[in-house]
């Protein structure tokens, strides 16, 4: 298959992730035409040269950014998490405008592999009442959403596979939790990029599955690869669903 030419990219949100996206994109010889931030917001009246915008901003900014970008006929990669309340609105905007968007709770390819491991492991204990399953995640002190979008995605995978678990408990458990509750606890502090641990525990033993992000490069690489894949496409896509095609080149 003939590969598409590389898209030009705009970065929305020039924090730690935005800078990492810039570094990864430059290493792949991708042109960055614009960088938008609080001091330089998107202007709907301007004609920008970029093909795809990569958004690593804040949950409350995502909906407005999507509205502006679709009016500009630009394609969008959303790396921001915590915007689930606007999910249906954003999906509708993309569909109505025949636009293109890739979203993901986590753009790290390593995390996507970890999700597959959790998917397999949780299926194994579905019929084993001796095992309980729960989760803990840790992020840096500046992270806004809690639990993380990645943790909630992992939780949904577990709920799909373990019939006993019917709902996710994200609040502090001040008393005994129900057998049908999947407890996801969170810690915020320091400079932890992201650690997610899933525990399968019984009286006999404990299985601990952990993914630790060493830095932000994995997230940025996935977002840039998604931008490359999205070029010349239309639709509303989950990064998990297109990853295999991205890896196949």
Of the candidates 207, 23, 231, which has an alpha carbon nearest to the alpha carbon of residue 128?
207
Any catalytic annotation for residue 214? no
In the set 75, 139, 196, 211, the catalytic residue is 139
Any catalytic annotation for residue 183? no
**CA of 41: how far to CAs of 12, 38, 46, in Å?**
8, 6, 11
Of the candidates 77, 72, 75, 67, which has an alpha carbon nearest to the alpha carbon of residue 99?
75
Give the bridge partners for 201, in sequence order. 132, 206
Strands (E), the chain: 9-12, 32-36, 52-55, 75-78, 100-103, 132-139, 167-169, 181-188, 195-201, 206-212, 235-238
The crossing angle, in degrees rounded to 10, of helices 239-248 and 109-124 is: 120
Query: Dihedral of CA 200/201/207/211: which sign?
Result: positive
Of the candidates 239, 225, 36, 15, which has an alpha carbon nearest to the alpha carbon of residue 140?
15
In the set 75, 143, 165, 196, the catalytic residue is 143
The token duo for 64 is: 């407005």
Please give the positions annotated as active site. 139, 143
């Amino acid at each position: 298959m003939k590969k598409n030419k590389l898209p030009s990219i705009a970065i929305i949100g020039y924090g730690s992730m935005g800078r990492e996206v810039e570094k990864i994109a430059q290493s792949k010889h991708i042109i960055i035409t614009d960088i938008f931030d609080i001091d330089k917001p998107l202007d709907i009246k301007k004609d920008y040269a970029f093909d795809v915008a990569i958004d690593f901003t804040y949950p409350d900014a995502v909906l407005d950014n999507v509205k502006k970008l679709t009016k500009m006929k630009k394609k969008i990669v959303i790396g921001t998490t915590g915007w689930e309340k606007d999910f249906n609105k954003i999906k509708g905007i993309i569909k109505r405008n025949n636009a293109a968007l890739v979203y993901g709770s986590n753009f790290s390819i390593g995390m996507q592999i970890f999700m597959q491991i959790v998917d397999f492991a949780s299926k194994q204990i579905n019929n084993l009442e001796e095992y309980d399953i729960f989760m803990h995640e840790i992020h840096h002190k500046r992270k806004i959403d809690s639990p993380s979008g990645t943790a909630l995605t992992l939780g949904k995978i577990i709920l799909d596979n373990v019939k006993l678990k019917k709902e996710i408990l994200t609040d502090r458990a001040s008393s005994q939790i129900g057998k049908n509750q999947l407890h996801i606890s969170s810690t915020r502090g320091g400079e932890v990029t992201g650690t997610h641990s899933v525990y399968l525990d019984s009286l006999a033993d404990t299985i601990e599955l952990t993914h630790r992000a060493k830095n932000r490069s994995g997230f940025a690489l996935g977002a840039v690869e998604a931008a490359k894949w999205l070029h010349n496409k239309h639709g509303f896509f989950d990064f998990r669903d297109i990853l295999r095609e991205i890896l196949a080149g």
